[in-house]
């Protein structure tokens, strides 16, 4: 009888564990189907443990499945990696937050813009440069040779800008003496163990790479970013990016303690549209990363939006909890509130999504 009880207990325990493991992936599958996402990666970190989930295909209509080594475009999550690399250079005394970047690198696209020559790293990291998100056909030769036009006095207001981050990239290359891809490899990817990540295109990515999908889950051609851009060219996995969140953002590995605190502290206000909104107060910007104030405390977050891809991370440094999701469809932000509710609970307001439905630009 005791032996029978042991067998029954084992079966019940095994079933319970199986159900616990299966429940999230079943819910993820349901969300993906509802939002028309061909494939996605989700990693939830809580209480020192990582739980990784993978669902769907690399390319709609083909059989290859998403797994833990599938690279996705991180899009604007690249900016957070850039910010961390900037602060590594800052700690080395190579660059300052409030000295005009033109002091370090005389950017030809601002040669005829006295106001643009006043832009600082702090303004870039808080999106207060006055530069448009992009001005021209990135990354064409014509774009790189076209002048930039400042829309308002730098430092006076908020406007999301990829151009600002590209300018910061050029300055970081100048002060470090390294190409930006080498700088990111040496200061971020290698030290943090991000072994499945690249900041610029390499053919090795083709071995396990997700396609992006547009309307009606139609796959796009693979975007091979052979010119590095600090704003959007990172290829990575949800597990690798979670390593970055946990090690760089939560623990501040590689940064001086005061620098780490400064990076994650409120640095400026934001604005949803042409006029201020009450929602703005819930999502100010730190230095290169967004903040969310809600019932559960202070969170870090950022989203990414490249053609065919949507992604996000949200994390709570006080508890160590984080959620990272990469989705290979332009419909992906529709899954953002559902995934946050599934893993982080429904007892809080997710301003990171509500503010602008995930979009930043």
- The pLDDT tens digits for 290-330 are 999 999 999 999 999 999 999 999 999 999 999 999 999 99
Residue 199 and residue 245: Cα distance in Å, rounded?
A: 16
Does 250 reside within a domain? yes
Return per-residue pLDDT of the chain as tens, 361 residues.
444 333 333 333 333 333 334 579 999 999 999 999 999 999 999 999 999 999 999 999 999 999 999 999 999 999 999 999 999 999 999 999 999 999 999 999 999 999 999 999 999 999 999 999 999 999 999 999 999 999 999 999 999 999 999 999 999 999 999 999 999 999 999 999 999 999 999 999 999 999 999 999 999 999 999 999 999 999 999 999 999 999 999 999 999 999 999 999 999 999 998 889 999 999 999 999 999 999 999 999 999 999 999 999 999 999 999 999 999 999 999 999 999 999 999 999 999 999 999 999 8
- Number of domains within the chain: 1
Which candidate, 69, 296, 306, places its Cα nearest to that of 198? 69
Per the domain annotation, does 296 fall within a domain? yes
Q: Which token pair is 62? A: 């083909």
Per the domain annotation, does 5 fall within a domain? Answer: no
12 in a structural domain: no
Question: CATH number for the domain including 247?
Answer: 3.40.710.10
- Tell me if residue 99 falls in helix, strand or coil: coil
Decide: pTM greater than 0.85.
Answer: yes
In a domain, 13, yes or no: no
Q: Tell whether 229 is covered by a domain.
A: yes
Q: Is 86 inside any structural domain? A: yes
Residue 15 lies in a domain: no
165-200 burial, b for 16+ CB within 10 Å, e for fewer? bbbbbbbbbbbbeeebbebbbebbbeebebebbbbb
Residues spanned by the domain of 328: 32-354
């Amino acid at each position: 009888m005791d032996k029978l009880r042991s067998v029954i207990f084992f079966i019940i325990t095994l079933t319970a564990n199986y159900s616990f493991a299966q429940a999230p992936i079943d819910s993820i599958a349901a969300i993906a189907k509802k939002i028309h996402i061909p494939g996605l990666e989700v990693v939830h970190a809580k209480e020192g443990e990582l739980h990784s989930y993978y669902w769907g295909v690399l390319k709609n209509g083909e059989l290859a499945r998403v797994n833990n080594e599938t690279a996705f475009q991180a899009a604007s999550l690249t900016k957070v990696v850039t910010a961390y690399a900037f602060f590594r250079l800052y700690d080395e005394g190579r660059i300052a937050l409030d000295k005009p970047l033109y002091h370090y690198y005389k950017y030809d696209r601002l040669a005829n813009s006295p106001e643009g020559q006043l832009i600082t790293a702090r303004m870039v990291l808080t999106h207060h440069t006055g530069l448009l998100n992009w001005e021209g056909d990135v990354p064409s030769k014509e774009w790189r040779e076209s002048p930039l036009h400042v829309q308002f006095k730098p430092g006076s207001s908020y406007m999301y800008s990829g151009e600002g981050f590209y300018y910061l990239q050029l300055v970081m290359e100048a002060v470090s003496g390294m190409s930006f891809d080498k700088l990111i490899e040496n200061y971020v990817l290698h030290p943090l163990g991000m072994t499945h990540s690249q900041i610029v295109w390499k053919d090795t990515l083709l071995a396990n790479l997700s396609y992006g999908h547009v309307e009606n889950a139609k796959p796009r051609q693979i975007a091979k970013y052979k010119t590095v851009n600090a704003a959007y060219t990172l290829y990575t996995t949800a597990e690798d990016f979670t390593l970055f969140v946990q090690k760089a953002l939560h623990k501040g590995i590689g940064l001086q303690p005061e620098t780490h605190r400064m990076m994650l502290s409120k640095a400026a206000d934001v604005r949803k549209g042409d006029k201020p909104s009450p929602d703005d107060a819930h999502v100010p910007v730190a230095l290169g990363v967004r903040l969310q104030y809600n019932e559960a405390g202070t969170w870090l977050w950022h989203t990414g939006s490249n053609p065919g891809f949507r992604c996000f991370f949200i994390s709570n440094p006080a508890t160590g909890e984080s959620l990272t999701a990469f989705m290979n469809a332009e419909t992906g932000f529709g899954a953002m509130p559902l995934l946050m509710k599934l893993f982080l609970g429904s007892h809080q307001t997710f301003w990171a999504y509500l503010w602008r439905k995930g979009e930043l630009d």
